[in-house]
Amino acid sequence: GAGVSQTPSNKVTEKGKYVELRCDPISGHTALYWYRQSLGQGPEFLIYFQGTGAADDSGLPNDRFFAVRPEGSVSTLKIQRTERGDSAVYLCASSRGLANDNEQFFGPGTRLTVL
Amino acid sequence: AQSVTQPDIHITVSEGASLELRCNYSYGATPYLFWYVQSPGQGLQLLLKYFSGDTLVQGIKGFEAEFKRSQSSFNLRKPSVHWSDAAEYFCAVVGYYGGSQGNLIFGKGTKLSVKP
């Protein structure tokens, strides 16, 4: 079946603009995660959802970042007033649930460049 | 707080040689450990995972890893490296929130280059 998909694959924007990044998880997966991967670093947790609700958003760096999952499937990560430091690859992952042994399946990521 | 350390940023091995990538974790209880591989332009792919039981874990593509509690390590090994193994490898541990899986905490990664 289809894996996790993310759109767009690349996004170039100017400082101060608003961007939306979309994640389409594997069908039937109730848990969805967002990570950010800066150059030369491992992925860093941003937020995760169980169903429609954000179970933990402690990784969001500041209030310019927000994510939603209104119907418990597709999720959108929203970044307001983008800054150059927001440039990174944003990864989405999904899993069958929040049990500890559930594998997280990752999408290919969206590369965000803020000029 | 949990953390993962991958001490080697970049490793080069010859094709056919053996490989060991190091991973150390910091966590008080029994950790849930993972190794992922990331090829250019590709998403992270799970190689193997450890939750409990046998400390030697077999994964895909001929990889294995050994959990050593006394050393807080979970090193990845492969007896004979293929050119297609060139990629970046990430070790990760589950962050615990009330007993359920939360986020994964990743190391900074080890980039593997393979010489012909």
- Distance (Å, whole) CA A53 – CA A72: 8
Which residues in chain B touch residue A43, judged by CB atoms under 8 angstroms apart? Answer: 44, 90, 104, 106
Q: What is the mean pLDDT of residues B28-42?
A: 86
Name the token pair of B107. 């190391």
Tell me whether strands A88-95 and A31-37 are parallel, antiparallel or unpaired.
Answer: antiparallel
Highest mean pLDDT among B6-20, B34-48, B92-106: B6-20
DSSP SS3 for A58: coil
Other residues' Cβ atoms within 10 Å of the Cβ of residue B65: 26
Q: Tell me the chain A residues in contact with residue B46 when contact means C-beta distances shorter than 8 Å.
A: 103-105
- The CA–CA distances, whole Å, from A19 to A43, B49, B72 equal 20, 35, 41
The stretch B99-104 carries a mean pLDDT of 65
**Under a CB-based contact definition with an 8 Å cutoff, are residues A109 and A39 in contact?**
no
Task: Among A37, A106, A110, pick the best mutation site for testing chain B contact (most B Cβ within 10 A).
Answer: A106
Alpha carbons A21 and A19: distance in angstroms, whole number: 7
B40 and chain A: CB distance < 8 Å anywhere? no
Are A60 and A51 a contacting pair, CB within 8 Å? Answer: no
Instruction: List average pLDDT for each run of 10 residues in chain A, which is 115 residues long.
Output: 90 98 95 94 92 87 95 96 97 84 89 97
Q: Provide the mean pLDDT of chain B.
A: 90
